[in-house]
Amino acid sequence: MSAPVQISANKHFGGYNRRFRHKSTSLGCEMTFTIYFPPAVEAQAKKVPLIYYLSGLTCTDENFIQKSGAQQKASEFGIALVAPDTSPRGLGVPGEADSWDFGVGAGFYINATVEKWKNWRMYEYITEELPALLSSNFGDKIDLGTAAVMGHSMGGHGAITVGLKNPGKFRSISALAPICNPTSLECPWGTKAFTGYLGDNREAWKEHDSCELIRRHKGPPLPLLVDQGSADNFLSQLQPESLEVAAKDAQYPIQLRMQEGYDHSYFFISSFIDDHIEFHAKHLK
């Protein structure tokens, strides 16, 4: 595993946003990720817990870091934020950049099984390679055993599914406007991505659907917070009501809040990101 190379650093609320590049063995290309180190890390005072943030369609690691304002509360609570990219880039797979909702910028946090897209293994990258890289290179600064995961839209889908499938890795989960039921016929994003990456076997798709995973969840539930804007123009695809029904059926406690008048943008994210950082801080103590 090659060590990450720092490519930029910006001081922010007493800490630093540090962006890195490294060669990914899971994805077969160079990848970037950004870590916000709070002041406690920069002062070498102590190791801190961390929150992974998984971004949505078309985003890179920079969108959240530049637009969310999450660093203010992360600085206050002494929490590192880790923002990875959303897909492999630069592999030159035919058709990889033909549409905004598939291929580049649209990894969906799954491991593709269709041969053409074999390098689209974002689930492996998020759950195995990136944590190992962080442990090897920043283990003296970050407590990898005290982690949470959150995300937006496609990344909200990623946060819930990754969290539910790996309860031992995370203390809590949260999502902003997540794609809740991607196997539903009413979710063209999910149908397109899962057909392309996983093929036509819809039973295999269920391993990556938050509603299905909640229904079959065993063991103690992880704390889960979901915010959704009522004026989101993608609401029919996101289907928060399906997640609410699934949680009720499984008696899985979730906090799902419908936020009146908010859309799908970073205006929405930045309005509620403090609540999400505080939510995770409570469970990362």
Residue 44: pLDDT over 80: no
140 counts as catalytic? no
Say whether pLDDT at 45 is over 80.
no
Look at residue 76 in the predicted model and tell me its pLDDT.
96
Average pLDDT, the chain: 96
- CA 227 to CA 240: how far, in whole Å? 9
Question: Residue 56: which domain range?
Answer: 5-284
pLDDT (mean) for 217-232: 96
Q: Has residue 1 got a pLDDT over 70?
A: no
Provide the CA 31 distance to its chain's centre, in angstroms: 16
Determine the pLDDT at residue 169.
Answer: 95
Q: How many CB atoms lie within 10 A of CB 117?
A: 24
pLDDT of 43 over the 80 cut: no
Residue 172 annotated as catalytic: no
Angle value at C-alpha 259, between 153 and 284, nearest 5 degrees: 65
Residues 6+ apart with CB under 8 A from 23: 2, 29, 30, 31
Q: What is the pLDDT of residues 18-39, one digit of tens each?
A: 999 999 999 999 999 999 999 9
Tell me the pLDDT band of 47, cut-offs 50, 70 and 90: very high
What is the C-alpha separation between 155 and 86, in angstroms, rounded?
8
How many residues in total does the chain contain?
Answer: 285
Number of domains in the chain: 1
> Would you call 153 a catalytic residue per the annotation?
yes
Separation CA 164–CA 184 (nearest Å): 19
Give the residue among 68, 83, 79 at the shortest CA–CA distance from 32.
Answer: 83
CATH of the domain at 185: 3.40.50.1820
The two three-digit tokens of residue 225, written as one number: 């917070």
285: confidence class by pLDDT, cuts 50, 70, 90: confident
CA atoms of 126 and 137, how far apart (whole Å): 16
What's the average model confidence in pLDDT over 204-217? 96
Distance CA 16, CA 216 (A): 40
Catalytic site residue from 22, 264, 276, 280: 264
Confidence of residue 78 (pLDDT cuts 50, 70, 90): very high
Q: Of residues 61, 85, 209, 232, which has the active-site annotation?
A: 232
- Backbone dihedral region of 223: left (phi > 0), alpha (psi from -120 to 50 degrees) or beta? beta
Catalytic residue among 153, 172, 174, 210: 153
pLDDT of residue 72: 98
Q: What is the pLDDT of residue 257?
A: 98
Q: Rounded mean pLDDT of 222-247?
A: 98
Q: What is the pLDDT of residue 68?
A: 98
pLDDT at res. 2: 77
